[in-house]
Structure 1
């Protein structure tokens, strides 16, 4: 009896230790470090589509600041709530191994952070390299509170593809002129669907195709000819699946949701809400100042009028030297053709292309035999 009691006591102590200090229980990779971030949740006035409203942000930025880490690193993120709303933050796609209480869903893994209070999220990135993202996990606050998580390979480890000249996060979102909390509350009270967004955004900007959207509200990606760029795509739209395309350019898909995939080429990308994907963009050998439109539009089989069926645009620019752009110069650019809004066959074909990389450097250790049958 004494031996059993001692064993149970030791087991209880070990379990508590692992719960309190998960980073000590998980083997660290060579070169792994602890990275500290501080998120001050604040209100910020932002103007889009000729209208200014106060939105909830991280450190006053929209979209929020990027988190950069390497596989194996430990992240310690202190979130301080300075807004009237309760807040929690979800680290979307992170494998919370022995750190589930850091996952962020309010009332599930934690009580939300009240006004004037703070909470420290503590977790380690295990077995993931690529792009993920974070967002608020209370009501519809995530409409403006979101940002990228960039996970680099372990130190002294390379990508399984050509090293990019530059890496660029591209985050798709939705924008409402109205307060998004009022939008979702009205939907809950009426029992109907929420009002459609007024625009889609690329990195927080609605682009030139919307009424009352200035050239300054357009995302511009300045590139050099003959270079390879890694685009870190994130669909932070609340509800909509999207098609994405750049005129006269193709992509090579190399990653989905922080997992390497067998590369394949495409000229149109399909991405669902919450999904991330890393794609390579090889620029053309263009020496003059040349612009191309990049556009995103929803995929949906729902009835017309039940979703935002507008198109957001940004600009891919060669040799621009950050010169100002005019509305007239943008209007002369050709729109790339996208699949039909209800192009289910395209979506099915797209989904069927994904295969795990599964090579000797990045094996997929899946059991090949059945150890026990329950039939």
Structure 2
């Protein structure tokens, strides 16, 4: 099939050839007819297409007619053939007529700039000092943590269930209390089926005095029911499945994956890890809760260090970096820690107005004021605090 623009091209070729002949240069009527023919061809683009067989036949006849034209024929005969050929050929579609514009991007030879990974200053040195201070592994978490609370001789599914139970009990509870509660549960029978068949009162007595023990009784019963129904008494093997269990949060899920399934899925961040990470400046900006701390640490801390972060920092927080009054004087990181030797915030007690109780109370208050003034004026510059307290008590008796 000859394209629709082919007739126009052929006409232009023939007309340019004719322009060199003496006949064309002498006949002005032909020039006018030729110009009108070209303008007419440009306007006949919207004529409906005929069948492909008819178009092909007409195109062959038209090509033969064009080939038979000689220099002596009148160009008006050409004008009667080409419009018919132009009308029978389908019009060009818009995407064919228009040339697509291609955007050209020039490579200047400079590679793209990658964002530099953020890391806290001197964190490797600080981590080495913490490992050195934790080398003896004598913190409560080392002897009574979740890794030490399950029965090593029990079947694998029972061991994994006991790991999860110890993690659920450890929330807001000291390791010593959690370990004692796990011993009582193991003696009673710490399996999903046994917990499910135990009444709430008995289960509460077994785990008391762990923090929020009443809520944890409900969580243990509901969790045991789900595990028996959907997992055959075992625990889920994914973080997504673990956090769906009642009373199980991200910290417990990541620790359960590490201890029970031996898979590192994330950093187990509790209050100790949250506090120490903020004190050491291991976060790009301070965080408000352990979950924010976990996400911030995982952005830069190498994955091969995730497993040891919990027990390492928890033990360090239990022995040196205490919640209140941390032992900065014995810490090896006291010269690089941004929070070193900063006193812990003290809760301010609310001042209350003391109501007047009559002449007796006012006389007593006046006597105490006189005694204090006498002590301040009569004491030497350097006095033992113990002697000062004894002197105050003896004067108050008189």
Same fold by TM (over 0.5)? no
Task: Give the TM-score category using the shorter length.
Answer: under 0.3
- The structure richer in strand per residue is 1
Taking structure 1 as the reference length, the TM-score comes to: 0.20
- The structure richer in helix per residue is 2
- Return the index of the structure with the highest Cα Rg: 2
